[in-house]
Amino acid sequence: MSIIEKAASRIDKQRSATSAAAGPATSTATIPDSDVVRAIPSASPVTPVAPVAPVMAAAASVHAAHATAAAEAERPAQKSSTRRVELDLARMRDLGMVTAAAGRTSLLEDFRVIKRPLLQRAFAERAPNDKPGNLIMITSSLPGEGKTYCAVNLAMSIAMELDHTVLLIDADVARPSVLRTLGLPAHRGLMDLLVDDKLDMADVMLRTNVDTLSILPAGTSTPRATELLASSTMTSLVNEIANRYPDRIVIFDSPPLLLTSESRVLASHMGQIVMVVEAQTTTQHAVKEALHQLEGYSNVNLIYNKTREIPGIEETYDYHYG
């Protein structure tokens, strides 16, 4: 069975298992050896919980201590022009997203499981022709499957780890939504970098109050956006990012694979690719087509997103703890 057939049949099995409520709504499976399928239930916004659970409070303070050190270490490398923005962590938590401010613990668990193999491969030794493993692209077949949701949650989850800094890039230039999802106002970014060679990354990058997390927004919209994304300037920029931040996880929230060709171009620069599949909605045909476009890339992971929440099943997420 080809990788694609295995993936598609795995997705079918997960789909029927979820629909029939026959088992836990979440499972991790190996598609070929290096691939992961992870099911993420559709999150309903969580009711704010106060006080913050003790375990998370401890994690937050460890994170804060680490983040200060990381910020100190980073400061000399960044120009003073880099702006800092405040993420409203309580708002994010209330929207059901991963933050150090606790929230839906099953979601924290889901992203802990998703990030583990990605982090392992990010800095693994590689052959001279391998793409940098720390460049991770989040894509999907079609719009609306949860790329931005997964990119933001993954970035946040990794930024909360000791020893890792994260750069989240909004490369879905036709439908940018990272800043909106985070409740931040529009800002210059990737598009501006691609059209103005006097601009430097540090001029458009945003540091955040999560000191280990920086954001490169999509930037000023232009009708040439998709063309710019597939340009040789973009190729040079991705190479520059890989060389400039070799110790950083760089997450690209990317366009969908089936509508335009940019995602394929982007994929050719990435060390790892994560394809988000929307449960119940994306057809097997679409998944197969999208996976065909990624044929030849070895590090393709699947996330099965927005699975139906099954009442009473949430405790089973603890199964993945550790």
Ligand X SMILES: Nc1ncnc2c1ncn2[C@@H]1O[C@H](COP(=O)(O)OP(=O)(O)O)[C@@H](O)[C@H]1O
Interface with ligand X (CB under 6 A): 40, 42-43, 140, 143-149, 177, 305-306
Q: Which does 146 bind (CB under 5 to 8 A by kind): ligand X, Mg ion, none?
A: ligand X
- Best CA proximity match to 169, nearest among 106, 244, 94: 244
- Taking the complex as a whole, the smallest distance from the CB of residue 51 to ligand X amounts, in Å, to 25
305 makes contact, choosing from Mg ion, ligand X, none, with CB < 5 to 8 Å by partner type, with ligand X
Nearer to ligand X, 140 or 214 (CB): 140
Cβ distance to ligand X smaller for residue 7 or 40: 40
- Give whichever of 133 and 255 is closer to ligand X, judged by the CB atom: 255
Residues 135 and 271: beta-carbon distance below 8 Å: yes
Smallest separation, CB 64 to ligand X (Å): 27
Q: Are 280 and 165 in contact (CB under 8 A)?
A: no
> Which partner in ligand X, Mg ion, none is near 145 (CB below 5 to 8 A by kind)?
ligand X
CB 256 within 8 A of CB 173: no
CA torsion angle 241 246 247 252 (round to 10)? 40
Question: How many residues are listed for the chain in this entry?
Answer: 322
Q: How many Å apart are CA 301 and CA 314, to the nearest integer?
A: 24
Contact footprint for Mg ion (CB under 5 A): 147-148, 172, 177
Distances (CA, A) of 133 to 124, 141, 163, 231, 297: 7, 22, 16, 22, 12
Query: Which of the listed partners (Mg ion, ligand X, none) does 212 bind, with a CB threshold of 5 to 8 Å by partner kind?
Result: none
140 binds, among Mg ion, ligand X, none (CB under 5 to 8 A by kind): ligand X
C-beta of 67: minimal distance to Mg ion in Å? 26
β-pairing verdict for 248-253 and 300-307: unpaired
CB of residue 307 to ligand X, shortest distance in Å = 8
Helix or strand or coil: residue 186?
coil
Q: How far is the CB of 45 from ligand X (least distance, A)?
A: 9
Cβ-contact 71, 18 below 8 angstroms: no
Number of CB atoms found within 10 A of residue 33's CB: 6
**Residue 43 interacting entry, from ligand X, Mg ion, none, C-beta within 5 to 8 Å by type:** ligand X
Residue number with CB closer to ligand X (68 or 283): 283
Classify residue 175 by its DSSP letter: S
Which residue number, 39 or 242, has a Cβ lying nearer to ligand X?
A: 39
Q: Which is nearer to Mg ion, 212 or 254 (CB)?
A: 254
Residue closer to ligand X (CB basis): 152 or 237: 152
Residue spans of alpha helices (H) in 205-283: 225-229, 232-244, 262-267
24's contact among ligand X, Mg ion, none, with CB below 5 to 8 A by partner kind, is none
